[in-house]
Amino acid sequence: MTELERTALLPAGLRDMLPPDAAFEAAIIERLIAHVSQMGYARVKAPLVEFEDGLLSGPGAAMAAHTFRLMDPVSQRMMGVRADITPQIARIARTRLKNAARPLRLSYSGEVLRVKGSQLKPEREFAQVGVELIGGAPAAAAAADAEVIVMTAEALGQLGIIELSVDLNLSPLVPAVLDALGVPPIRQNELRAALDHKDAAAVAAVGGPAAKTLGALMAAAGPAERTLEKLERLDLPGDAAAERSRLAEVFRLIRAAAPGLKLTIDPVERRGFEYHTGVGFTIYAPAAGGELGSGGRYLAADGFDGEPATGCTLYVDAILNALPAPIVTRQLFVPAETPLAQARQFRADGWITVHGLCLGDDPVSEARRLGCSHVLIAGAVRPVSRS
């Protein structure tokens, strides 16, 4: 390996983004932000690094294992590189914007860095775009959940992503069932692991008094309408029945606002939703090869004074995978002798102009060498052949 090749190496999970992909990503981010801003979601920007006691509080605690740490040489305090932006938005809401009117609608975009990738998502650095709806009356929780889901699906749809589907889940449902039936904590952990792996045999073996109900919940997963019908037939204990009702209300509001959106429900799914306190969701599209984004209801701070919130984080790399490759914009090679006023007019008309630097260069050869689609010859725009 040469020295030049060695300097080009990057750590695993990190990469350079080259033309035209970098510009395409930036344009997609701005289109998403523009869409949600029309719904009243004001943009905020958080730092890449902050003190870890703030970064890893509230919903940020779930990202502790994914977070790079470093010592701040100025304050001598430990800092963390953000692995997710949602906890930062929660911090901003409860500090800088604590006196702002609720519900608070915020949007954001930025890069995150994680200690390691996963088998399905090996990237360690990637861009996020997201929204958070924080606070508001408890009676409006279902409406807030539905607003975020429908708005996010519409934002993805306007990019041209087709066959979107949203998988709803309810992470508090299983704990409510287990607590009501008196399942001890150690047994609850075994059951949660079995449910995570969709292991019906293990659930039946160790479920005790909860085995029948948990088996029915696991078997109910599927298209939303059918799953809700199955859930309604189950004799669920008090808190679990209330959670079921909340899920049904969110579904009803989504279906009314977006009748064509494909909805599924998995009542026992919780992986990635450990800090969520209500309805959660994951957004998919066949072309993406993975999750486009996820979100749900959570508390924006620790403890009983935590402010209820709901939000969604979109993964820009997955969105780019779901879209056609970017089309190279029309680029016009402008010979060095061209008057600047004429070049400005071409840009005003929508062209990207690439200026020659040396008088007397052959414009066609230079246009072809620099990858321009068109060339200006004697005041006329002509296409450039690639042969």
Measure Cα distances from 387 to 365, 369, 384 in Å: 11, 11, 9
Q: Is residue 7 part of a domain?
A: no
Pairing assessment for the beta strands 104-113 and 42-43 based on DSSP bridges = parallel
Provide the 10 A C-beta neighbour count for residue 130: 27
Do residue 346 and residue 301 come from a single domain? Answer: no
Place of tokens 């911090």: 91
- Say whether pLDDT at 387 is over 70: no
Q: Is residue 209 part of a domain?
A: no
Do residue 301 and residue 374 come from a single domain? Answer: no
**Helices 21-37 + 141-158 axis angle, to 10:** 140
Which tokens belong to 88? 């930062």
Query: Smallest Cα–Cα separation from 332: which of 366, 282, 286?
Result: 366
Q: Is residue 353 part of a domain?
A: yes
Query: Smallest Cα–Cα separation from 164: which of 248, 254, 275, 31?
Result: 254
Do residue 361 and residue 298 come from a single domain? Answer: no
Mean pLDDT in residue range 240-262: 96
Taking each continuous run of H as one helix and of E as one strand, the counts in the chain are 14, 16
Residues 37-54: tens digit of each pLDDT: 999 999 999 999 999 998
Residue 214 has phi, psi (to 5 degrees) of -65, -40
Using CB atoms within 10 Å of the CB of residue 120, give its burial: 0 to 12 exposed, 13 to 18 middle, 19+ buried.
exposed
- pTM beyond 0.85: the answer is yes
Pairing assessment for the beta strands 308-315 and 291-299 based on DSSP bridges = antiparallel
- Say whether pLDDT at 299 is over 60: yes
Residue 109 neighbours by CB under 8 Å, 6+ apart: 29, 32, 33, 43, 127, 128, 129, 130
- Say whether pLDDT at 303 is over 70: no
Do residue 310 and residue 348 come from a single domain? Answer: no
Residues 51-65: tens digit of each pLDDT: 999 899 888 888 899
- Say whether pLDDT at 380 is over 90: yes
Do residue 37 and residue 80 come from a single domain? Answer: yes
- Say whether pLDDT at 302 is over 70: no
Q: Domain limits at 155?
A: 12-161+291-314
Measure Cα distances from 25 to 126, 195, 315, 317, 382 in Å: 11, 37, 11, 8, 30
Looking at the structure of the chain, the number of domains it has is: 2
Q: Is residue 44 part of a domain?
A: yes
Mean pLDDT in residue range 286-295: 91
Query: Smallest Cα–Cα separation from 257: which of 12, 34, 33, 39?
Result: 39
Q: Is residue 4 part of a domain?
A: no
Greatest Cα-to-Cα distance within the chain, rounded to the nearest angstrom: 88
136-175 as b/e: b if 16+ CB within 10 A: beeeebbbbbbbbbbbbbbbbbebebeebbbbbbbbbbbb
